[in-house]
Amino acid sequence: MIKKFLKRVFSRSAKAKKVGNAQIIPFSLHGVPREQISYGAKRVTDGLQAAGFKAYVVGGAVRDLLLNKKPKDFDVATDATPEEVKRVFRRSRIIGRRFRLVHVMFGEELVEVSTFRRMIETEDAQTDDHGRLLRDNEFGDQEQDAARRDFTANALFYDPTTQEIFDYHSGYKDTRDQILRIIGDPLVRYREDPVRMLRAVRLSAKLGIKLDAATAAPIAQMKSLLDNVPEARMLDEVLKMLLSGHSVECIKQLHKMELHHGLLPLLDVIFEQPMGEKFVMLALKNTDERLAQEKPVSPAFMFAALLWHEVLATWNTLVKQGERPVGAMHTAMDAVLARQKKKLAIPHRHDAVMKEIWLLQQRFDQRSGQRPYRLLEQPRFRAGFDFLLLRCASNEVDNELGLWWDEFQDANETRRQEMLQPEGMGAAATKRRRKPRKKPMAGVQAVAQAAVERVDE
Ligand code: ATP
Ligand code: MG
C-alpha cells in the first residue's frame, strides 16, 4: 500500500522521460487518474503486478480516456502467459485458438487480458500472396507489442499504479493533436491486414479525429486487398461501423475514400437505389441517435432497413405480374433473404424478426374494423411502427399514415372509434391519396428534404 503510494507520488514529475525506446508520460501531463479505470481492469493490473508481472491497461480505453470519451471496455496487456494469468485469477478462462486470451470476470464486467505479442519479421512471417499476415501470435515484449498494434493512439500502455503512460510511437502527441496515424509504413501495414483500412475510417469517424495524410493516402489504391479478407471478418467490421454510434459519418468517409462500392456487399445494398439510400441513411441516423441516448439497437431492425427497398422492388414486380399482395410479400422476402445470404452472411437468427417487421408494414394500411386493434397487440408493433416512421420520413409513404398510428396507439376508445376508416379503405385508398404527390420530381425532393429536416430536429 505504502509502496504504491510512494510510487505514485514520485511519478508526478511534470515532464515526460525516456526509458529505452519508450516515452513515459506522467499523470501531471496527461491528467487521466486511476479512478477512471474500471473496477475489473484495476483488479487485474493490481493482481498481476502483485504476482510480479507487468500489467497495463492498453488500446482503445487509454485512447478514449485521453480524448475524454467513455471507453467501451478495458483491455489489459501483460508479460504473463495465459496460463500464468489464469493461475492468478480464480474466475478466469482461456479463450481462442489462434490468439490465446484470458477472460477474467468480476461480476458483470469481463476484462480481456492478452500476453504481449510480437509482429513476425518479414522473412519468417506467414503471408498470403498479397502480403496478408496469417500468423502473428508469437509472444513478445512490451515494445514489440506496441509495434504490432495498428495506430499510434492504440499503442499506449497505462499503469494504474503509477498513473504513467508508456508510449513507443508518439501516440500521446498524436492523440493530443487529434490525429489517427498508422504505426510504420502504411503500405506494409495495410497489406498485412487490409481491415486496418476500415478501422482507420471507423475510428476516425467515431472519435471525430483526423486521419493523418500519409495514413489515408494509400487507401484508395489498396482497397482491392479487402477482397481477400474472409467474409465473416468483413461482416464483423462492417457491423462495428454500423453500430458504432457514428454510422452516418463512417458511410460519408467511406464514400469520400471511394471504399464504398464493389467491395462491401452490405454497403452496396445501401447505395443501390436513390430512394433506398435515403431510407437507409435515415435508419442509420436513427440508430446513431439511439446509441447516443444509450438505448438498445437491434441488428435485425438494421438489416431489415438495409434490405427493405430490395424487398419492396421485388414485391412490386410480383404484384405487377398478378400475384396477390400478401403472397407476393412472402415470396419477395424469401427471395431477397436467399439472395442476400450468399453475399452478406446475415445470421439466420435475425430472419424471423426481419420478416415480422416487413410483414407488419402491409398491415399499417388497414385502418378499419378490428384490424388496427389486432395490430397493436403484435409483440413487434413498436419495431414495426418505428420502421413505418422511417418510411414516412424518407417519403416512401405519406406522413399522414405515421401520424394516424401515432395518435391511434394512445387515443381513448371514443377517439379510436372516430379515427377508424370505413370498411374497404385499405391499401388501395392510401395509394390513391399518395399519387398526386409523386408527380413533380422537384416536389418529391422538397417533401423528402422537409422529412429529413424534421428528423434532424
Ligand atoms: P473500439 O473502441 O472499437 O473497441 P479498439 O481500438 O479498442 O476500438 P479493438 O478491436 O477492441 O479496437 O482492438 C483492441 C486493440 O487491439 C486496438 O486498440 C489495437 O491496439 C489492437 N488491434 C485491433 N485490431 C488490430 C489490427 N487489425 N491490427 C493491429 N492491431 C489491432
Ligand atoms: Mg476495444
Query: Which regions of 84-240 does DSSP assign to beta strands (E)?
Result: 92-95, 101-106, 109-115, 117-118, 138-139, 156-159, 164-167, 179-180, 210-211
Write the residue with the smallest CA distance to atom 12 of ligand 1. 60
**Nearest atom (ligand 1) to Cα of 61:** 7
- Tell how far the Cα of 350 is from the centroid of ligand 2, in angstroms: 25
Instruction: Report the CATH number at residue 181.
Output: 3.30.460.10
pLDDT at 60 over 80: yes
- Tell how far the Cα of 360 is from the centroid of ligand 1, in angstroms: 39
Is 321 a domain residue?
A: yes
pLDDT at 427 over 60: no
Is 51 a domain residue?
A: yes
Phi-psi category of residue 313: left, alpha or beta, with phi > 0 → left and psi -120 to 50 → alpha: alpha
The reply to whether ligand 1 has any atom less than 6 angstroms from the CB of 154 is: yes
Question: Cα separation of 74 and 424, whole Å?
Answer: 59
Query: Which regions of 17-68 does DSSP assign to beta strands (E)?
Result: 17-19, 22-25, 55-58
The reply to whether ligand 1 has any atom less than 6 angstroms from the CB of 59 is: yes
> Which grid coordinates belong to 104?
477474467
**Nearest atom (ligand 1) to Cα of 149:** 30
The reply to whether ligand 1 has any atom less than 6 angstroms from the CB of 60 is: yes
66 exposed, middle or buried (CB, 10 Å; 0-12, 13-18, 19+)?
A: buried
324 exposed, middle or buried (CB, 10 Å; 0-12, 13-18, 19+)?
A: exposed
Mean pLDDT of 166-175: 98
The reply to whether ligand 1 has any atom less than 6 angstroms from the CB of 200 is: no
Is 275 a domain residue?
A: yes
- Nearest-ligand number for the alpha carbon of 41: 2
Mean pLDDT of 75-95: 96
Specify the higher pLDDT residue, 280 or 443.
Answer: 280
- Residue 145, H or E segment: helix 142-147
Residues 6+ apart with CB under 8 A from 407: 415, 419
The reply to whether ligand 1 has any atom less than 6 angstroms from the CB of 245 is: no
Specify the higher pLDDT residue, 30 or 251.
Answer: 30
Is 386 considered catalytic here?
no
Residue 218: predicted pLDDT: 94
Mutation choice for ligand 1 from 135, 149, 166, 190, CB with most ligand atoms inside 8 A: 149
Mean pLDDT of 298-314: 89
Is 243 a domain residue?
A: no
pTM: 0.79
Query: What is the rounded (10 degree) CA torsion for 276, 279, 282, 286?
Result: -110
Give the pLDDT band (50/70/90) at residue 443.
very low
The reply to whether ligand 1 has any atom less than 6 angstroms from the CB of 189 is: no
Question: Cα separation of 29 and 7, whole Å?
Answer: 16
Asked if residue 102 lies in contact with residue 113, where contact means CB atoms within 8 angstroms, the answer is: yes
Instruction: Report the CATH number at residue 374.
Output: 1.10.3090.10
Give the 3-state secondary structure of residue 134: coil
Is 197 a domain residue?
A: no
- Nearest-ligand number for the alpha carbon of 71: 1
Residue 429: predicted pLDDT: 46
Mark whether 182 and 329 lie in a shared domain: no
The reply to whether ligand 1 has any atom less than 6 angstroms from the CB of 150 is: yes
Last residue of a domain, one of 164, 190, 216: 190
- Number of structural domains found in the chain: 2
- pLDDT (tens digit, 9 = 90+) per residue, 118-130? 987 555 556 666 6
Domain that holds residue 87: 2-190
Is 332 a domain residue?
A: yes
Mark whether 304 and 161 lie in a shared domain: no
Name the active-site residue from 150, 159, 167, 212. 150
- Tell how far the Cα of 272 is from the centroid of ligand 1, in angstroms: 31
Residue 340: predicted pLDDT: 76
pLDDT at 224 over 90: no
Alpha-helical regions (H) of 368-410: 371-376, 381-393, 399-410
**Length of the chain (residues):** 457
Backbone angles phi, psi at 295, to 5 degrees: -90, 155
Question: Cα separation of 348 and 311, whole Å?
Answer: 17
Mark whether 84 and 174 lie in a shared domain: yes
- Tell how far the Cα of 103 is from the centroid of ligand 1, in angstroms: 16
Last residue of a domain, one of 190, 223, 239: 190
- Sign of the dihedral defined by the CA atoms of residues 274, 275, 277, 281, in that order: positive
Mark whether 186 and 300 lie in a shared domain: no
The reply to whether ligand 1 has any atom less than 6 angstroms from the CB of 194 is: no
Mark whether 291 and 172 lie in a shared domain: no
> Which grid coordinates belong to 110?
469481463
Is 288 considered catalytic here?
no
Asked if residue 116 lies in contact with residue 144, where contact means CB atoms within 8 angstroms, the answer is: yes
Contacts 24+ apart (CB under 8 A), 432-438: 433/398, 433/400, 434/397, 434/398, 437/398
Question: Cα separation of 114 and 85, whole Å?
Answer: 9
113: β partners:
76, 102
Q: Which of 34-38, 308-312, 319-323, 409-413 has the lowest mean pLDDT?
A: 308-312
Mark whether 15 and 159 lie in a shared domain: yes
Residues 6+ apart with CB under 8 A from 427: 325, 362, 365, 366
- Sign of the dihedral defined by the CA atoms of residues 268, 272, 277, 280, in that order: negative
Mark whether 183 and 311 lie in a shared domain: no
Mean residue pLDDT across the chain: 85
- Tell how far the Cα of 195 is from the centroid of ligand 2, in angstroms: 15
Write the residue with the smallest CA distance to atom 14 of ligand 1. 59
Write the residue with the smallest CA distance to atom 15 of ligand 1. 59
Residue 55: predicted pLDDT: 98
Mark whether 182 and 293 lie in a shared domain: no
Question: Cα separation of 362 and 329, whole Å?
Answer: 9
Give the pLDDT band (50/70/90) at residue 392.
very high
| C-alpha pair distances (Å), 329 with each of 42, 160, 218, 412 | 54, 57, 45, 33
Write the residue with the smallest CA distance to atom 7 of ligand 1. 60
Question: Cα separation of 38 and 45, whole Å?
Answer: 11
Is 136 considered catalytic here?
no
Write the residue with the smallest CA distance to atom 25 of ligand 1. 150
Mark whether 444 and 296 lie in a shared domain: yes
Query: What is the rounded (10 degree) CA torsion for 68, 69, 75, 76?
Result: 10
Q: Which of 250-259, 392-401, 414-423 has the lowest mean pLDDT?
A: 250-259
The reply to whether ligand 1 has any atom less than 6 angstroms from the CB of 117 is: no
Mark whether 139 and 288 lie in a shared domain: no
Is 142 a domain residue?
A: yes
The reply to whether ligand 1 has any atom less than 6 angstroms from the CB of 250 is: no
**Nearest atom (ligand 1) to Cα of 240:** 3
Q: Which of 59, 124, 47 is nearest to 86 (CA)?
A: 47
- pLDDT (tens digit, 9 = 90+) per residue, 321-366? 999 999 999 999 999 888 877 666 778 889 999 999 999 999 999 9
- pLDDT (tens digit, 9 = 90+) per residue, 116-167? 999 875 555 566 666 666 555 689 999 999 999 999 999 999 999 999 999 9
Backbone angles phi, psi at 286, to 5 degrees: -60, -40
- Nearest-ligand number for the alpha carbon of 64: 1
Last residue of a domain, one of 144, 168, 190: 190
Question: Cα separation of 9 and 348, whole Å?
Answer: 55
pLDDT at 436 over 70: no
Mark whether 178 and 306 lie in a shared domain: no
Write the residue with the smallest CA distance to atom 9 of ligand 1. 60
